């Protein structure tokens, strides 16, 4: 009986040690899996963000929350593409940018165009709200009425959670990749995360796990997506499935 007790105790100690080690080194090892920066979109991210005066990591955070980098993402509100535009908004943006001919489904067929639309639209919102990224994100997700509620101290919880999620994800991209768009002179970017040893000193462990585990839901609103994050996707990416 005592032997089994010792086995159980040491097994428990071993599991606790494994969990502690995973907590500490997990973000450094799996950061790019948890927060990917797909190579096929890096050039468009860098270009369009700089054209419209926003951080590429901010736009990456928005896309991550909206669609998890799935160009075919769609919502119950008929929003589609990487940056999740409903048809009426997509047509309005296309008209402003002089993109013609245009159909909303083009944003799924052409992810780089979706990135351009997202960069323009969120940049326009930031300017409209005096440089306030949180208000611009609230409007992106819930419209101008949601911003009014936020300003009056009665925010729609969903839209505020969405805005905070994007901002938190931008921070993760900052910590994992840094100013990646400045680290190459090549026309074709092949950015990778910082070295795991460097990540151990730059990434916030608490923020990483909190954002990954406890701030996962995408609130309802104009840009709701059916591609809510789940742990199966995370582990499948790690295991290469």
Reported confidence tier of residue 12, pLDDT bands at 50, 70, 90: low
Whether 25 has a pLDDT exceeding 60, the answer reads no
Looking at the structure of the chain, the number of domains it has is 1
In a domain, 240, yes or no: no
At residue 85, the 3 state secondary structure works out as strand
In a domain, 235, yes or no: no
pLDDT tens sequence across 49-96: 999 999 999 999 999 999 999 999 988 788 899 999 999 999 999 999
In a domain, 80, yes or no: yes
- Return d(Cα 30, Cα 82) in angstroms, integer: 23
In a domain, 78, yes or no: yes
- Return d(Cα 22, Cα 16) in angstroms, integer: 10
CATH number at residue 206: 1.10.530.10
Instruction: Quote the pLDDT of residue 233.
Output: 41
In 3D, which of 145, 138, 140, 146 has the Cα closest to residue 164?
Answer: 138
Average pLDDT over residues 164-168: 93
Instruction: Note down the domain range covering 21.
Output: 2-228
Whether 232 has a pLDDT exceeding 60, the answer reads no
Strand (E) positions, 147-199? none
Reported confidence tier of residue 183, pLDDT bands at 50, 70, 90: confident
């Amino acid at each position: 009986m005592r032997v089994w007790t010792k086995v159980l105790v040491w097994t428990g100690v071993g599991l606790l040690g494994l969990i502690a080690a995973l907590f500490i080194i997990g973000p450094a090892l799996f950061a790019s899996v948890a927060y990917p920066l797909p190579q096929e979109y890096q050039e468009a991210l860098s270009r369009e963000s700089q054209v419209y005066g926003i951080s590429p990591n901010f736009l990456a955070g928005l896309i991550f929350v909206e669609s998890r980098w799935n160009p075919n993402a769609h919502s119950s509100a008929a929003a589609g593409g990487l940056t999740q535009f409903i048809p009426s908004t997509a047509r309005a943006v296309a008209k402003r940018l002089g993109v013609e001919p245009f159909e909303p489904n083009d944003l799924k067929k052409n992810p780089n165009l979706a990135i351009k639309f997202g960069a323009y639209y969120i940049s326009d919102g930031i300017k409209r709200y005096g440089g306030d990224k949180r208000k611009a994100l609230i409007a992106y997700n819930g419209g101008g009425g949601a911003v009014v509620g936020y300003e009056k101290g009665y925010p729609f919880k969903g839209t505020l959670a969405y805005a905070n999620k994007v901002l938190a994800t931008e921070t993760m991209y900052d910590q994992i990749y840094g100013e990646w768009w400045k680290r190459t002179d090549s026309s074709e970017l092949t950015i990778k995360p910082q070295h795991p040893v460097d990540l151990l000193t730059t990434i916030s462990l608490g923020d990483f796990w909190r954002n990954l585990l406890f701030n996962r839901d995408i609130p309802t609103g104009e840009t709701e997506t059916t591609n809510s994050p789940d742990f199966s996707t995370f582990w499948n990416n790690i295991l290469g499935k």
